[in-house]
Each structure stands twice: as structure tokens, then as C-alpha cells.
Structure 1
Amino acid sequence: MTLSISHYRAEWFADPRAARRDVLAGMVGTFALIPEVIAFSVVAGIDPEVGLFASFVIGIVIAVFGGRPAMISGAAGSVALVAAALVHAHGLPYLLAATLLAGLFQIVFGLMKLDVLMRFVSRSVRTGFVNALAILIFSAQVPQMLGVSWHSYAMIGLGLAIIYLLPKLTAAIPSPLVCVVVLTVVSMLIPMPLRLVGDLGRLPSSLPSLHLSQIPFDLATLRIVAPYALAMAAVGLLESMMTARVVDDLTETTSSKARECTGLGLANVAAGLFGGIAGCGMIGQTVGNVRYGGRGRLSTLVAGVFLLIVMVPLRPWIAQVPVAALVAIMIMVSISTFSWNSLRDLARHPKVSGVVMLATVAVTVGTHDLSAGVAVGVLLSGVFFAFKVTRMMRVTIDYDAASDTRIYTVSGQIFFASAEIFADHFDLRDSAQRVRIDLTDAHLWDITAVGALEEVASTMRRHGISVEIVGLNAASAILVDRHAPLMRERPA
């Protein structure tokens, strides 16, 4: 327990220098958070203040109970796409109920340690996920750059210049933060036709308060919200687990994915109680936070708290921030999120890995659904892996003239994908009187494999051939005894 408390304390305050970096990186994360939360709130059919309040609550709770330090979570991502259908069909009160139920589902998933399912997501799928998200982040900025005056393009260019050139002079203050301040001052001193943050939608004007849903909590309500809640929980966990894995890779550290599941569940329950939409890990903002020095839980907390400070007390000022500043930040986030090495790796890595990565990107970008892209990537990874293992199975055939015995020596894995190929190697009307099937270097994985072996043995025996099966390992023998006990018996 002492070690655990010490480790937890280190995640908050490693040293004063790290704490300073966490605070500044968290502030940058807030400015990267605002435009995406507002945009996804519009997608979900709710007021921006609902998403912003939820992001504040989620940020506070996940900083304390989450399993991945330096990870920023908020009300955005594919969760908003799932929520949109519920809001349009039944309204905001049902969304709040679904948010509460989604949080409870996630807590249960975390306690059951279902995070182990992430082990089935290959590196190619994770790379495709990251690249697709970078493309979606950039494409989300395109509407802000259409139908605008040249002043907007000039301000975006100035913002990008500050973001990329300032670090060459000093790294004392994150350049995105300087970008926001400078562009805001310039727009206030030099009047020009620019879109401001205040033009994106209604901003919070008060602190969030406890919000109890007015809908009846009965079976009819449960039937309405449960399917949406389960989908929101699954999509939210998927994005959060992927984001946590990306941070693990960037920081070369490990984290508790099960704790992240329960932490996100608690955060979403709290968001629902305060009238907010469910959220999940936000990879773009998280990558930006890590890139600018965020490593501890303090950066996650600052991102949430600073969001409330910025959006409520400083609401009149933040409303004057030009959208061009936020667009510049998000372009930087998309560029830093994209795995540029993956383009070079397409020529170096196995082709199937490239196909999986590109398919994940294509499906995600095409559907704007991160879960759909990952599902396709995982499915392709499984298919390609099964195909590769199937090709590794070998059957060699020898003949012992002295005993008139045909010997089939099998090596490799026999399962649903290779069972038919395995069976095709046998001559079911063999001219030899005896057949020996040596499985010493093989393994039977499922009932399909057992069924194939049983069919081969029984067919040969019907044709008067004596069949002997040898070399079954313990696991394969148990499978055979359970599902085909007569197969191992030899004819008299």
C-alpha cells in the first residue's frame, strides 16, 4: 500500500519542474479541447455548453481516478455520433440517462477487466487509428477555412509560424499558448473580418450544477436508452484504450487499462449527473499535451479546471479569441498526431501490415467512426494471421514397405482455417493396409480440427484400412476424448 500511495503521489507531483510543465501543457490542451468539443456538441445536437460542462467534469474525475496520467478526456469523438441518434429521436433528457447508464457499464467492464480485449488490436490497427484521427482532426478544420476572407488565412499562417518557430527561440512557454494570446491581441488591435469563438455557439455563463433527469426511470425508459448506452460505453472505452496505448508508446511507460475503464465510467456518471454528455479519451489533445511536456495527472486536472476558468469567468475574453488561432493549434495537433514514419514503413514492413493500416484509415475516414475502422482492422488482422498460420502447416508422407504402413507426419496448427487443407493431404482409399498419423509436432485447436481428423480416420477404417493415431499432446488428446472418443480406438 505504501508503494502504491508513493507511486500515485509521484504521478501528481514528480518535481516542481515537471509540475510547471504539466500546468502549461494542460493549458494548451484546454485550447485544443474547446473547438473539438464545440464541434462534436453540434454533431450530437446539443448546446456547446453541455459538451463543455461535461468535459470539465470528466477532466476533474478522470485526473483522480483514471489509470493513464497525462491523458485528456472530454465530450467528443465517436460517442457524439452515437448520442446524436438518441437526441434526435428522444431529446436531451434521455441522453443524460444514457450517459449515466453508459458510465455504469464502463465501471462494470473495468471491474471485469475486459480491457484485455485490447491485446487483439495490432500495431498496424493502432497506427491506422492514429493516422485516421489526424486526418479527421484536419478535415474538421476545413469548414473554418472556407468562405472566409484572406485575413483568416493570414492569421492562421501567423499562428502556425508562432507555433513552429517560437520553440527554436525558447521552450519556456508552450508556443500554442503564445499563439492564442498574440492572435487575440492582434485581432483586437486591428479590426478585421474574423470569426471568433463566441460565434461558434452558446458558451457557459455559470458553473455547472447537479441535474436530475425528469424522465421516468422505468422499464420503458431502459429499453430506449440501454442500446445507446451500451454503444456509447463500448465506443468510449475503445477510443480511451487506444489513446492510452498511444501515450504508453510516446512516454515509454505503462498504465492500468482496467483502472482507466472504471475511471472513465465514474467520470461519465458524474458528467450525466451534472447535465453533460458522455465522453472518452481525446487522442489529438492528449498527444498535444504529451508533446508539450505533460506527463502527470496534474496536466489532466489543469486541462479540465482551466477549461472552466476560461469559459465562465473569462467568457467575454475567450469569446474574442479568433477561430484562426484554434484552427492553427488543431492543424499542429493533426500534423503531430499523424505517424509519418508509417508512410515509409509501407515499403519496409510486410504488405499485409500495410493493408491493415490503410484499411483502418480508409474505413475510419469514410465513416467518421473510429470504432468501425478499428473493427475492420482487427478483423483483417485476424484473417491474415489465420492465413499465415495455415500456410505453416505441413504434412509429409512416407511408406514402410516391411509393414505395409503409410506414415503421415503432421506439423503445425490445425484449426478451423487449416482443417480442410489438412484433410486434403490424405488418400482416403490408400492402398496400404495400415496408416499411421503422427501428430507429435501438431496441435488440434478446435472441434473443426477434431472433426477433420475424425472424418479422415473413420473413412479409412470403413475402407478396411487400419488407422493408428500417435503423438497427440495432452491438450489435443483431451479435445479428442471429449468430442470424438471413438476415433482413437483401433479396429480389431
Structure 2
Amino acid sequence: MKYSLTSHDWTEWFSGMARLRQDVLAGMVGTFALIPEVIAFSFVAGVDPQVGLFASFVIGVVIAFAGGRPAMISGAAGSVALVAAALVASHGLQYLLAATVLTGVFQIVFGLLRLDVLMRFVSRSVRTGFVNALAILIFSAQLPQMLGVTWHTYALIGAGLAIIYLVPRLTTAIPSPLICILLLTGFTMLVPMPVTTVASLGRLPDSLPSLLIPQVPFSLDTLTIIAPYALAMAAVGLLESMMTASVVDDLTDTTSSKARECAGLGLANLSAGLFGGIAGCGMIGQTVGNVRFGGRGRVSTLTAGVFLMVLMVLLRPWMAQVPVAALVAIMIMVSIETFSWSSLRELSRQPRMSGLVMLATVAVTVLTHNLAAGVTVGVLLSGVFFAFKVTQLMSVSSEYEAATDTRTYHVMGQVFFASADIMADEFDMRDAARRVRIDLTAAHLWDVTAVGALENVVSKLRRHGAAVDVIGLNTASAILVDRFGPTIRPG
């Protein structure tokens, strides 16, 4: 896969000072939205918070240049952390870093093989369910910060939401979440109160990440240990990134290169592993926040990564004083903006099967906290329902000509693994007609199961003494019959 810096790439980086300013400010909003989730996901994976923060910095910088979806923010994400947790618990951090490097290699290979085309099998109902589940998970992730706290925290969250939603009515020069953070941080510094701050979430890094090689034995045994985890992280990460990229495509009415995003994420994760970070992927909550406040180009993605380290290292003393309530307010806003409220109204108007797929995707994702599981169930249900619907469109009718003692069967519709047996059951094997014609002019044979069912019907009819002719095969069906069912058309 070869990419060049075309004029289109330049517009993704720079399209005027107004856009540059919006991208920078929106990227800063994305950074603040990153911090609490990245730290929380680090705990889920069983690693120090700085491992997740280092990863988010490296991934953010690399994906800004190598990714295929401008304005998308990537970092250490919960879905990947869930997979990594078991490896950390059993073998430790160094094996996780090695698995992260291998994850990147797998994803680069997936990009080169253009496996992004699999996204075409994800229906609109699954995508809507994915978005709604993410919104619910983003909101639920804030609940621990709102339980067992004093009234001061609730007051700050309420004030933060008021600032976020009311300030845009006065001015949009500066994104309201940034104003929320500045005002609430300044207020809590002037008026001390018992609230949780960023410093309370975990150890923050005090230096930039440095290049290192994972300290693991370079042997087949090590590869055997890390490969299953790396493959799982690669698949989950790509799935979430592709889904997030599709959401941004819809929000911005633009298109993106999914194959480039696959390879770019692989390069980002490979780099993260070599700089002491965990694997990551696209983060829909932070991405929606970025887009919501004007982020459209690659500068917003780069800003989110670079500004994270600026906050953590250069502005560490001030960043440590930011009340978590301000970040919770931002994430509540993101969850509200992420949820597709129109999908609730559409439930009564759209086909029941589509609604069931959307609800199943939401339910599985929320119950398991596993985005890959939810999307997989949604895709499988979509496939089953589609197959069921297509089988209902297939029919077989027959007519008898007494003059020639001929029974003609007319097969109409799509014949494949789900409808082949239904077709076969429509033939009367005890029919006493001396001649049987099977007319497939209005049908299409899709697979070897269909050919096998037709071959079985023909052979049974011939055993009962009927002369069987198969007519009307289209070109594609005829090729399948000649290759996998030669006895259907003898001679």
C-alpha cells in the first residue's frame, strides 16, 4: 500500500487560519476528554496510568500523519484494555508491550490486505446500536466519580454543564468545555473544597516517553504467548476504529480511507509498544467531542496527542488541580451528543428486524462492556435476518401438460444455503410424470449447497423413472453446476 502527500492531504492539514484555530481548540477539548478515560482504562488493563497516557500521546501523533480519517482521535481504549488485562495479569507489562508491537504488525498486514472491506457487512442498524451503546458506556463510566462524593461535586458538574451549554449562546470563539475547565479549576483553587482532582486519579508522567525494546525472550514460546492476545487486540481495535471512522464520515458528510486507517493504526500501535505504551484505537466519545466543536482536519488529531503531553509534563502542577467534576461534565455532554435520539423515534417506523438488531447490539455491548461482542452479535443477527427474508422471496410452482406427460417446475428467487432445502421440499418425488422440466430462468444458484440440493432432486427424480431436464440456468449458475454438479446435466 503506497500513500503520497497529495494536494488533498494538504487541505486535511491546513485550509486557512480560521480552520486551523478551530482544529487546535477542538483538539484541546479532545485532550481533556481523553485524560479520565485513559487513566481509567489503564486501571482496567492493570498497568500504571502513565502507560496509557504515553500510548495516547504516541498513537495520537502517529495517527495524525498515517491515519485515513482526519479529525478522529485515537488513544488507549477500554475495549483493547479488556483484552490486555488477562495478559498483564498472567505475564506482566513487558509481555503486554511485546503484544502491542505485534498488534501493530497484524494491523498493518490487515491494512495491506484491505480487510477494511469487511465493514460493508455492518448494517446501519448495527452502527446505530454501536453509537448508542457507546453513549451509554461513556455515561456509565462517569458514575464512579459521582458516587460517594459530597454535594460540592454535584454542584460543580451542574455548573460545568451549564457553562458547556449556555456559553455557546454568547460566543463560540472558544469551545465551551475549555471555558468550563478553566473556570471550575480556578474556582476550586480559590475556594478549596473536598472534590477529586486529576492528581487523585493516579501517577502522572513527569517526562516524555523514551524508546525501549520490550524485555522478553525472543523465542517461539514468547510468540505463542503473545500472538493470541495481539490478534484479539488487533481485531477489536480495528473494529472500533472502523466504526468510529464511519460515524465521523456521517457527521461530517465526508469519506475516509479505511484501508489507510487500518495500516495507520498499526503503525501507531507498533510505535506505542516501542515507547512503553499499550495498544489503542479510535475513541468515539473524544472524537465526537472534537467534531462537535469544529475539529475537521489532521491538526485537531495532532493537537489532542501533543497537548496531552504538554498538560502532563509542562503544565503538570496546574493539570493536577483540575477537578474531575469538570471532566465528568464534558463526558456527560459527549454522551448526550453521541446518542442517536432519532433512533428511538424510528423504532416504531422501521422494520422490526432492524430495530431488534439495533437493540441487540446495544444490549450485548452494554452488558459485556465489549464493543467487538456487540457489533459481532449485531452483524450475525443482520445476516440471519437477511437470509430469512431472502428465503421468503423464493418460491416453486408447477404445471402439468397431459399431452406430453410433462411436469414443469418453475423456481423463482435466490437459492443458497438457507433456501436450498426449502426449494428441494417443493418437488414431489412420487410424481408419475414421465418427464420433468426444472425451469431456473427466474432463479439464481449462489453456492455449492444450492447445487447439491438441485443435484439431489434430479437424482431422486431419475431414480423414480422420470426424464429430467434442467433449463434456464444463467451464466453464473451454469458455471457452478458444471463444476460442482456435473450429473445435473448429463451428456
TM-score by length of 2: 0.98
Matches of residues 205-354 of structure 1 in structure 2 within 5 Å? 205-354=206-355
CA distance in 2, matches of 1:156, 1:372: 32
Please name the residue that 1:103 is paired with: 104
Q: CA deviation at 1:404?
A: 1.4
Native 8 Å contact 1:78 1:235 kept in 2: yes
What RMSD over aligned residues (CA atoms) do the two structures have, in Å? 1.2
Native 8 Å contact 1:58 1:268 kept in 2: yes
Matches of residues 283-432 of structure 1 in structure 2 within 5 Å? 283-432=284-433
Native 8 Å contact 1:197 1:319 kept in 2: yes
CA distance in 1, matches of 2:173, 2:205: 31
CA distance in 1, matches of 2:398, 2:423: 12
Secondary structure of 1:312's match?
helix
Kindly provide the CA deviation profile for residues 124-145 of structure 1, in whole angstroms up to 9, marking residues without a partner as x: 1011111101101100000000
Native 8 Å contact 2:455 2:485 kept in 1: yes
Kindly provide the CA deviation profile for residues 77-100 of structure 1, in whole angstroms up to 9, marking residues without a partner as x: 210000100001000000000000
CA distance in 2, matches of 1:413, 1:33: 49
Residue type matched to 2:66 in 1? Answer: F
Distance 1:107 1:349, change over 3 A: same
How many residues align? The count is 490
Please name the residue that 1:130 is paired with: 131
Native 8 Å contact 2:197 2:320 kept in 1: yes
Native 8 Å contact 1:70 1:300 kept in 2: yes
CA distance in 1, matches of 2:40, 2:3: 44
Native 8 Å contact 2:44 2:78 kept in 1: no
Query: Percent same amino acid at aligned positions?
Result: 76
Residue type matched to 2:262 in 1? Answer: C
Gaps of 5+ in 2: none
Secondary structure of 2:85's match?
helix
Kindly provide the CA deviation profile for residues 48-83 of structure 1, in whole angstroms up to 9, marking residues without a partner as x: 111001100100000001000000000112100001
Kindly provide the CA deviation profile for residues 433-468 of structure 1, in whole angstroms up to 9, marking residues without a partner as x: 211110011011111111111111111111111111
Native 8 Å contact 1:56 1:307 kept in 2: yes
Q: CA deviation at 1:431?
A: 2.2
CA distance in 2, matches of 1:452, 1:261: 40
Kindly provide the CA deviation profile for residues 6-51 of structure 1, in whole angstroms up to 9, marking residues without a partner as x: 1110000011111110000000000001011000000000111110
Q: CA deviation at 1:366?
A: 0.5
Runs of 4+ in 1 over 6 A off after TM superposition: none
CA distance in 1, matches of 2:451, 2:51: 56
CA distance in 2, matches of 1:399, 1:60: 73
Residue type matched to 2:74 in 1? Answer: S
Residue type matched to 1:160 in 2? Answer: L
Q: CA deviation at 1:2?
A: 12
Please name the residue that 1:31 is paired with: 32
Q: CA deviation at 1:4?
A: 5.5
Secondary structure of 1:347's match?
coil
Native 8 Å contact 1:77 1:282 kept in 2: no
Q: CA deviation at 1:301?
A: 0.3
Native 8 Å contact 1:409 1:439 kept in 2: yes
Native 8 Å contact 1:77 1:280 kept in 2: no
Residue type matched to 2:156 in 1? Answer: M
Q: CA deviation at 1:3?
A: 9.5
Kindly provide the CA deviation profile for residues 312-337 of structure 1, in whole angstroms up to 9, marking residues without a partner as x: 11111100000100000000011111
Matches of residues 432-443 of structure 1 in structure 2 within 5 Å? 432-443=433-444
Residue type matched to 2:174 in 1? Answer: I
CA distance in 1, matches of 2:469, 2:270: 61
Q: CA deviation at 1:489?
A: 2.0
Distance 1:264 1:322, change over 3 A: same
Native 8 Å contact 2:436 2:469 kept in 1: yes
CA distance in 1, matches of 2:20, 2:350: 39
CA distance in 2, matches of 1:464, 1:397: 19
TM-score by length of 1: 0.98
CA distance in 2, matches of 1:360, 1:201: 33
Secondary structure of 2:379's match?
helix
Secondary structure of 1:70's match?
coil
Secondary structure of 2:487's match?
coil
CA distance in 1, matches of 2:133, 2:4: 39
Secondary structure of 1:109's match?
helix
Kindly provide the CA deviation profile for residues 177-232 of structure 1, in whole angstroms up to 9, marking residues without a partner as x: 10000100111111111000100000011111112222111111111111101101
Kindly provide the CA deviation profile for residues 102-126 of structure 1, in whole angstroms up to 9, marking residues without a partner as x: 0000001001101101111111101
Gaps of 5+ in 1: none
Native 8 Å contact 1:434 1:467 kept in 2: yes
Q: CA deviation at 1:474?
A: 1.1
CA distance in 2, matches of 1:460, 1:219: 57
Distance 1:122 1:2, change over 3 A: closer
Residue type matched to 1:245 in 2? Answer: S
